[in-house]
Amino acid sequence: MLLEALTWLTTPAPQWARQAGYLKELIAIQARYRRCRDSWEPHLQASRAAIIAAVDRCDRRHHAIVYGSGLLLDIPLDTLSRAFARVTLVDAVHLRSTRRLARQFTNVRCAETDLSGVAVGLLLGTAKGADQLPRPIAPTVEPPKEIDLVISANVLTQLPVTPLQYLDRHLPLPADDLDLYARAIMQAHLDHLAQLDAVCCLLAETEVAHVAPDGTILESTDPLRGLSLPSPHDSWHWTVAPLGEVSRNYAIRNHVAAAISMPQCSESASNRRGASP
Ligand SMILES: C[S@@+](CC[C@H](N)C(=O)[O-])C[C@H]1O[C@@H](n2cnc3c(N)ncnc32)[C@H](O)[C@@H]1O
């Protein structure tokens, strides 16, 4: 608890990230990882393997960008640093430990950006009603044309979490409105990924289940709220909270999918293959 408070006080974070709750959330993820390291490891390894499979499909390797870099637990940073001329790590917050790790690689930089585009709008109090909520805006961290690999690293379903918690505290809305808003935030991220002329590795949870000690699924929710993802390259279970972490009656188990897609832009794709126009 003391360590977490100290981290909150000493982490250099944008004011909006601190105020809206992103820093607190990331510190909580770090604390949970420390407690649940063993049950997270298979998921982290599978995530890294999917990213390496995506790297193998990149024939142009100037720039890789990671959305939701967080604590870099699921990111094979050494592989990315060796494979690409430069690597950009994007998250609302990077803790000091993450920055130290990134500094070991001369071609890796950290950028703090709101990937949903709604955080500052919510904080400025433009949320006067459901029809005036700030619209999700895709990030403009880098000129899109310069990105060769984009990794969305288990961030998609996290994007609505802090905005919804913020709304819950400041502007309680009907569940249906919140549901639509969460979907809009996630859809904007998916649209942004699809528009980039880059190989894309999308890692995302597709189910959150409460699992009893005998393996019975007590409850299951769709964190994508009905949105669909490209067909997966791989998928697996992630025991995010083993028995006893949240409840003695159930563990929380996510189902995670990894989808790898190739660049959509035909002109650039054919240039990459060396085809004549
Ligand atoms: C489950 S973690 C992803 C795990 C991370 N790849 C790792 O290896 O530690 C979700 C990440 O999404 C980030 N995140 C959530 N909402 C965000 C937003 N609006 N903008 C930028 N990052 C966001 C969180 O800060 C967190 O690092």
- Which DSSP helix (H) or strand (E) runs through 251? strand 251-261
Q: How far is the CA of 25 from the centre of ligand 1 (A)?
A: 9
So what's the pLDDT on residue 120?
Answer: 87
Q: Which amino acid is residue 107, in one-letter code?
A: N
Give residue-wise pLDDT tens across range 227-257.
999 999 999 999 999 999 999 999 999 999 9
What was the pLDDT predicted at 267?
A: 45
Domain ranges across the chain = 2-204
- Mean pLDDT score, 187-194: 95
Whether residue 107 is predicted with pLDDT greater than 70 in this model: the reply is yes
Query: pLDDT class for 128, splitting at 50, 70, 90?
Result: low
- Ligand 1 atom nearest to CA at 112: 21
22 Cα nearest atom in ligand 1: 25
**CA 29 – CA 48 distance, rounded (Å):** 18
Token pair belonging to 180: 């639509």
CA distance 251 to 257: 19
- In the chain, the percentage of residues whose pLDDT exceeds 90 is 75
Fold of 2-204: Rossmann fold (3.40.50)
Q: Is the pLDDT of residue 144 over 80?
A: no
| pTM exceeds 0.85 | yes
Residue predicted with more confidence, 140 or 234: 234
Model pLDDT, residue 270: 41
Q: Residues with beta carbon inside 6 Å of ligand 1?
A: 22, 26, 29, 68-75, 91-93, 114-116, 119, 153-155, 158-159, 162
